[in-house]
Structure 1
Amino acid sequence: NFISLLFLIGDMRIQDVRAEDAAQCLLPIINTHANEAEKVSNLLSTFFRWALNDGLLPSGVSPVSREGRFKDIVANHDDGLLESRNHAALPYEQGPAFYSKLVAAGFTSSALLRFIMLTAARSQAARLCRWKEFDLEACTWNVPAENDKVKTTDPTKAPIREILLSPECVDLLKSLPSYAEGCKPESFVFANLATGRPFTSESLVGAIKRLHEARKKEDGVGWIDPDKTRIIGEPARISVHGFRATFRTWAEEDEHGNVNTFNQTAAEFCLLHTVHDRTTRAYRRNPLKNERRALMNAWGKYLSTGEWPQKR
């Protein structure tokens, strides 16, 4: 995949790559090799996101943005590819069952995955969190900018980085070996017991893979994202990042009334997303803390018991 990109755009300066150039890396294989096309698409997205974060794109816009010309070009050839770039997510209906498997596993890595599910946090922020970021009495976790996807500390642009912790999440944190050792401020919350260092993203992928293989022996399917499986034409094992989508789709679920029970802007804030509309400034003055608290508490209860929140 990397060699194919070098062949097509390797001689170009980063700032000169247009949406049309990036799309040419995909169009020859988009209908004949869907899985390879997705891998190339993901590689392009990762590369230009890095370039954008490092200030290498003067325009401030990635040529493979899903909101621009690239999307239009690719969509004319295949409607499913851009959707398939999303991380494979656990269906929210299966959330409690998967969570119970993590509880039963009993490893620190499985506790970290439970924490990621309960907080809907990004993997890096969770893997690298230290005790100094938490106030367990107030049930809050303040994610430092260096561990967030959006690095800016400008208060007019930075997202809300406070994550509210459910009772289930606080209980989980208090059960950890690092808590028993005194919650030393600089200590990693989820340290690998063998190395004392944070877990790698690969170790979490491995933990999910083991659970997937065990489930597959039981039901012949495993823990997969059925929608993405349909799009790419092969089983799509769930991903760590996909737990964020699991939370978000649960928060706007319609049959049980979550979409009306919970404030949907608050759900975005729970994911540390910035809402880009004219009300953003007002929300900075009132960051919907009570609404976010209600969401996270209901989510924690749902994962641990399977109980749906009462409709408002």
Structure 2
Amino acid sequence: MAQRTLNKLSATFVAKTKDPGRHSDGGGLYLAIDGDGRRRWLFMYTRAGKRTELGLGSGRDLKLADARTLAGEMRAAIERGEDPRSVRAKDKPGQTFGEFADAFVAHKKPSWKNAKHAAQWEMTLTKYAAKLRPIRLDQITTADVLGVLRPLWTKTPETAERLRGRIERVLDAAKAVGLRSGENPARWKANLDTSSLGDRTRLNRGNHTALPYEQLPAFMQRLRTQRGTAPLLLEFTILTAVRTGEALGAKWGEIDFGKAVWTVPAERMKVKAAKEGTGQHRVPLSARALELLRSIHDTLPEADRQPDKYVFGRTPTDMLSNMAMGMLLRRMGVTVKDTSSPPKDKFVTVHGFRSTFRDWAAETTPFPHEVCEMALAHTIKNKAEAAYRRGDLFEKRRALMASWAAYCG
């Protein structure tokens, strides 16, 4: 390739330009800037009649001179009849965490349907993992990972756990392509769990034994094979993440099928919430929750589906026992091992499914803390935050509950 076609960009242009698009440096090297201002280096080439694009790293972390050096080695590899990806693999042991993390997110982003999810990944791996970004991938240690987790671990535990999981995935990917060797320093089991961080935050408190969220889809399949009112009530309770009393007392007048909303009156909410003026609780109903309600509603005589009649009553005017769902779980033999020594089997409780929901939301979704807390109708402990937030984040909660129903299903 003629020398005159190379080195079109200046260091000043690379540092300052914000114009979206692909800016050619010549010889197949491009600085790509997206609509949000994120920048990365690309190498484009044609081999065996096929045009290919390779990501070289973040435009923030990979300097122009280094990008040119890497592109030059790739062009030389092509002239030798080699695959230029072999050059990238050779260079990768010197890659930093920041360069690889940006490339990892860019590679995964097309498969993530939720744009907010991608934004959360980018933010946490840029802001919270800032201390890791300049460190070479093959030099990152458990101490380095602890250094970014400790400031968040007790202050914002959900953010810390998400960050830990994302760092672990990035480092796993780096190992898979030969950038690292040995154990993953961000792994929890037999690694960080023995550190000074302490236990991971879970909502499995007191006697409310919870089913691990990983086991929930299989449990829901079993639950849907059961017959009677209690299984329907339990599934509805899980799908809506409400408290037992709120589900037991549900009446047809509280259900708006057209708007897919269930409005729980203030007097049936938790006493503490009522005292603090939380008021009624609007619950967004997922497609599955509506289907379940329809399956009951449409089989009842008109007199039994009036606004004042119970949805899950023993009779339309008699509430089902508050032990019905607990006894169902015992009959199904739904247990988990506790942490005693030796471990013992403990029956999962109905209230524990709220913990299951909360752990699932915190560890596997991008939904913010306040949305998850409002889905559980938790009161806001911070008075300043409570005064500031007047809405109930309903549409955001609707999206959360739809994701939850899909996971359950």
Q: Which bin holds the TM-score, normalised by the shorter protein?
A: 0.5 to 0.7
2:367 is equivalent to residue 265 of structure 1? no
Query: How many residues are treated as equivalent by the alignment?
Result: 203
C-alpha separation in 1, matches of 2:357 and 2:381: 21
2:237 is equivalent to residue 116 of structure 1? yes
Q: Residue 247 of structure 1 corresponds to which residue in structure 2?
A: 357
C-alpha separation in 1, matches of 2:234 and 2:204: 25
Q: CA 1:147 to 1:280, structure 2 compared with 1: closer, same or farther past 3 Å? A: same
Q: CA 1:140 to 1:179, structure 2 compared with 1: closer, same or farther past 3 Å? A: farther
C-alpha separation in 1, matches of 2:373 and 2:273: 18
What fraction of aligned residue pairs are identical, expressed as a percent? 33
After TM superposition, the structure 1 = structure 2 runs for residues 1-312 of structure 1, keeping only pairs within 5 Å, are 85-150=206-271, 157-158=277-278, 161-176=281-296, 180-182=300-302, 183-192=305-314, 197-212=318-333, 223-226=334-337, 229-231=338-340, 233-253=343-363, 256=364, 258=365, 261-277=366-382, 278-284=384-390, 286-304=391-409
| TM-score (ref. length: structure 1) | 0.60
| TM-score (ref. length: structure 2) | 0.46
Q: CA 1:111 to 1:243, structure 2 compared with 1: closer, same or farther past 3 Å? A: same
Question: Unaligned stretches of 5+ in structure 1?
Answer: 1-81, 213-222, 305-312
Is the contact made by 2:216 and 2:408 (CA closer than 8 Å) also made in structure 1? yes
Is the contact made by 1:90 and 1:238 (CA closer than 8 Å) also made in structure 2? yes
C-alpha separation in 2, matches of 1:283 and 1:133: 25
Q: Higher relative contact order by CA 8 Å / sep ≥ 6: 1 or 2?
A: 1
C-alpha separation in 1, matches of 2:210 and 2:250: 23
Q: Deviations over 1:214-254 (max 9, x none)?
A: xxxxxxxxx2233xx1148421110011111011000001x
Q: Deviations over 1:8-28 (max 9, x none)?
A: xxxxxxxxxxxxxxxxxxxxx
**Cα distance, 1:160 vs. partner?**
5.7
SS of 1:236's equivalent in the other structure is: strand
Question: Unaligned stretches of 5+ in structure 2?
Answer: 1-202
C-alpha separation in 1, matches of 2:295 and 2:401: 19
SS of 1:204's equivalent in the other structure is: helix
**Cα distance, 1:121 vs. partner?**
0.8
Is the contact made by 2:210 and 2:349 (CA closer than 8 Å) also made in structure 1? yes
Amino acid at match of 2:216: G
**Cα distance, 1:153 vs. partner?**
5.1
C-alpha separation in 1, matches of 2:273 and 2:215: 35
C-alpha separation in 1, matches of 2:348 and 2:246: 19
C-alpha separation in 1, matches of 2:205 and 2:257: 38
Q: Deviations over 1:263-296 (max 9, x none)?
A: 2211110111112222222222x32112111110
Which runs of structure 1 show a deviation greater than 3 angstroms over 4 or more consecutive aligned residues? 151-154, 177-180
Is the contact made by 2:264 and 2:280 (CA closer than 8 Å) also made in structure 1? no
* Higher-strand-fraction structure: 2
Amino acid at match of 2:339: R
